[in-house]
Structure 1
Amino acid sequence: MLMGSDGVSLTELCLEDWWWAKTNASECTAGDTNLPVFQQTRQWLAAYFAGGCPSIDSAPPLAPHGTPFQKEVWQLVAEIPYGQTVTYGELAAELAERRGGGRMAAQAVGGAVKHNPITIIVPCHRVVGAGRSFGGYGGRLDVKAELLEHEHVDLSRFDLGPMQQ
């Protein structure tokens, strides 16, 4: 995994082969790889992959780069509980409600989710399509499936089709 920081907060966390990942890991982790934020990130990830349910409250300070709209969506995504999924449409409806009503397009929310620069901690893998649709994932769909299986989500309700390996 690649981590990026502004020296205090985590700005990026992704798998090396993700479509938007920095091409050079040293650019992503520019500076001291022993920064407290990187140590805290490694501890959070170790707890997660050991089967724990670390919360966003125990995460390192986060400072993802994005538009105000993207940051608003990512905040909603960060609130999705461990082991649960929500649809793009449900996120759009919640965002519209928090903004005081009106409508919000699920496609706009999907675009913001797709550009989430801090994976796993901001759990975009928990966002799925409507019905039996699995939705996309900035990494690979097989990784999304593995993360959801790790969280004991029943994937039998989704039409997974052939996934990239």
Structure 2
Amino acid sequence: MNNVYKAYYSSPIGTIEIKGTLGGIISLYFVEENIVSSNIPDCLKECIQQLDEYFRGVRKEFTVKLIIEGTEFRKKVWYKLLDIPYGETYSYMDIANAIGNEKAVRAVGGANHNNKISIIIPCHRVIGASGSLTGYGGGLWRKEWLLNHEHKFK
């Protein structure tokens, strides 16, 4: 694999660690440490710019290159998440149906849980069938914030 570069972005809801290579972004996670990047690798600058635009409410779609790695099933789920429009939500059942496997609701939840590129692959837009906010690696309060943020700028 190519060299992996790392940078930190200070968002309104906490510090985000971004990892990527010259080929694209490989992970984007919230971290609890308050770290500031002083020297941002060139291959991560576009991602940071797009995150900044997203949090300012002017970017609704990310265009940075992604390196999506996982099982075929998980990749199928993650690519389907990329189809969820900004400011909208789908249920786990909606995603299972969209990938042609209505019995895979739990597995869709597992794929969501293992999404390494949060926000850009918008797992925060997946909710329970009842409309309830369920599970989010960055914390339910962040999921709620992201959904409210997108609804405000929709």
List, as ranges, runs of 4+ consecutive aligned residues in structure 1 with deviation greater than 6 Å. none
Deviations 1:77-99 (A, max 9, x none): 01111100000000000001xxx
Higher strand residue share: 2
5+ residue gaps, structure 1, are 18-22, 97-101, 154-165
Number of residue pairs the alignment of both structures matches? 134
Counterpart of 1:51 (choices 40, 54, 57) is: 57
Counterpart of 1:11 (choices 26, 29, 39) is: 26
5+ residue gaps, structure 2, are 1-15
Aligned to 2:144: 145
Aligned to 2:76: 72
Higher helix residue share: 1
The alignment partner of 1:53 has SS state of coil
For 1:89 and 1:103, locate their aligned partners in 2 and report how far apart those are by CA, in whole Å: 7
The alignment partner of 2:151 has SS state of coil
Aligned to 1:156: none
Shift in Å, 1:33? 3.4
The alignment partner of 2:68 has SS state of coil
Equivalent pair of 2:93/2:102 in contact (CA under 8 Å): no
Alignment-mate amino acid for residue 121 of structure 2: V
For 2:40 and 2:71, locate their aligned partners in 1 and report how far apart those are by CA, in whole Å: 27
TM superposition score normalised by structure 2? 0.79
